[in-house]
Structure 1
Amino acid sequence: MTIQCNVKTIEPLARNTYRIILAPQTSVDYKAGQYLMVVMGEKDKRPFSIASSPCRHNGELELHIGAADHNAYAIEVVEAMNHAYANNQTIEIDAPHGSAYLQSPSDRSLLLIAGGTGFSYTRSILDHCVSQQLPQPIYLYWGGKDSEQLYAMRELEKIATEHSNVHFIPVVEADEQDWGGKKGNVLEAIEQDFDSLSGFDIYIAGRFEMAGAARDRFVDHKLANKERMFADAYAFI
């Protein structure tokens, strides 16, 4: 369904990363973990995960868009959002989309894996789980090139402190002198921490190659159930 949206706010989250709040003129009924398409042209629709959760969004839709200099695909969307915001115009979206949403009901433990701004996908799922007071263990692994990219660290640490079943594990690739957390590849960090993933529902957002590698490695080496692994990338690879 195509919907016109007002651009309510645009603000930087980190280097080349922006939080955009859209106010749809028609309510959007979506599930935690789904995405929307920003309509840039008749045959040009660009997907972005919805970072807000369906239970706590007040009718608004939150996006986290990484728009680095080499990523014209995202930069053009941010520019269009800025233009609409400055000129009191609307942005058209097509929503909701995606089958990698939170599976319910399920009492299986949850493993949420995010690379970069793929965090927005896992944020929607985590926020929904917390708001619904789901009791099972929830592990969120978030990988970034450096700690600056992990822009929601304080938010996640607060959630983990307030909810004993939530565990947040940040991972950075850069060798930062003052970084006290895990370093390296986020999938390798998970492999080091778990002997078996057989009891988990696994949700993944990041580059297609990361999602593909996670499925291959976790099924082959960590007893993960392929049917209980969810990523929008799996519709294409």
Structure 2
Amino acid sequence: MTISCKVKSIEALASNTFRVLLHPETPVAFKAGQYLMVVMGEKDKRPFSIASSPCRHEGELELHIGAAEENAYALEVVESMQEALNSDSDILIDAPHGDAFLQQSDRAMLLIAGGTGFSYVRSILDHCISQGLENAIHLYWGAREKSQLYAFEELSAIDSEYANIHFVPVVENDEGIWSGKTGNVLQAVMGDFSDLSQHDIYIAGRFEMAGSAREQFIFNKKAKVEQIYSDAFAFI
């Protein structure tokens, strides 16, 4: 469904990473973990995960967009939204999309995000919290530097408040000032779990990361293919 939206705000979350709040002219019913398409042209629709929770979004849709200069695909979207905000004009979205949404299950959950893939798992996590779900939840978020973990304080507070939620940040370049896990986020998961057969696994990041995770988890950690969810699987 194509819907007109007002751009309510654009805020820098970290270097080259922006939070965009959209207000659609008609409410968008979506599930935690789904995404929308920003319509840039008749045959040019660009996907971004909805960071909002479907039960606590108050009519607004939140996006986290990583828009470094070398990433023209995303940067052009941010620039278009900035123009719409400045001119009080509308943008078009097509929503909702995606089959990797939160499933109804009593199993433990493993949420894995690379970079701004965090927006996908944020929607799922916030929905679980708002619904009072007691499933064990382990959220692994990988970034090149700690500064790119823009929700670090928020997630650390959630980890402290909820006994069933465990936040594990992973930084590739620690520069000697990071005391947590370092390296690749998948390596961190592989080192912490011996058996993933009883987990529902949700993955957001680069396509190659999602594909590698599925392969490694199934062959090395007993994960079940039907319990691994990522929209990247539709493209690889």
1:74-128 Cα distance to aligned partner (Å, 9 max, x none): 0000000000000000110000000000011x00000000000000000000000
Q: How far did 1:157 drift?
A: 0.6
1:147 counterpart residue number: 146
2:5 counterpart residue number: 5
Letter of the structure 2 residue corresponding to residue 54 of structure 1: P
1:171 counterpart residue number: 170
1:228 counterpart residue number: 227
Q: How far did 1:236 drift?
A: 1.4
1:88 counterpart residue number: 88
Gaps of 5+ in 1: none
1:43 counterpart residue number: 43
Q: How far did 1:177 drift?
A: 1.3
1:210 counterpart residue number: 209
Letter of the structure 2 residue corresponding to residue 229 of structure 1: I
TM-score (norm: length of structure 1) = 0.99
Q: How far did 1:162 drift?
A: 1.0
1:113 counterpart residue number: 112
Aligned 1:128-143 pairs, distance under 5 A: 128-143=127-142
Q: How far did 1:175 drift?
A: 2.9
In 1: Cα distance, 2:26 partner to 2:90 partner: 12
Letter of the structure 2 residue corresponding to residue 7 of structure 1: V
Letter of the structure 1 residue corresponding to residue 12 of structure 2: P
2:198 counterpart residue number: 199
> The residue matched to 1:63 in structure 2 has which SS?
strand
> The residue matched to 1:164 in structure 2 has which SS?
coil
Q: How far did 1:176 drift?
A: 2.2
Greater mean deviation of Cα atoms: 83-92 or 169-178: 169-178
2:29 counterpart residue number: 29
In 2: Cα distance, 1:58 partner to 1:161 partner: 26
Matched, 1:63 2:96: no
> The residue matched to 1:217 in structure 2 has which SS?
helix
**Is this contact kept in 1: 2:18–2:65, CA < 8 A?**
yes
> The residue matched to 1:168 in structure 2 has which SS?
strand
In 2: Cα distance, 1:44 partner to 1:236 partner: 17
In 2: Cα distance, 1:84 partner to 1:220 partner: 47
In 2: Cα distance, 1:11 partner to 1:114 partner: 21
In 2: Cα distance, 1:4 partner to 1:19 partner: 19
In 2: Cα distance, 1:54 partner to 1:141 partner: 22
Matched, 1:79 2:75: no
1:159-191 Cα distance to aligned partner (Å, 9 max, x none): 111111000000011032111110000000001
> The residue matched to 1:91 in structure 2 has which SS?
strand
Gaps of 5+ in 2: none
Runs of 4+ in 1 over 6 A off after TM superposition: none
**Is this contact kept in 1: 2:146–2:174, CA < 8 A?**
no
**Is this contact kept in 1: 2:84–2:90, CA < 8 A?**
yes
> The residue matched to 2:169 in structure 1 has which SS?
strand
TM-score (norm: length of structure 2) = 0.99
In 2: Cα distance, 1:181 partner to 1:90 partner: 43
| Identity between Structure 1 and Structure 2 (%) | 66
> The residue matched to 2:109 in structure 1 has which SS?
strand
**Is this contact kept in 1: 2:202–2:230, CA < 8 A?**
yes
In 2: Cα distance, 1:23 partner to 1:5 partner: 5
Say how many residue pairs are matched.
236
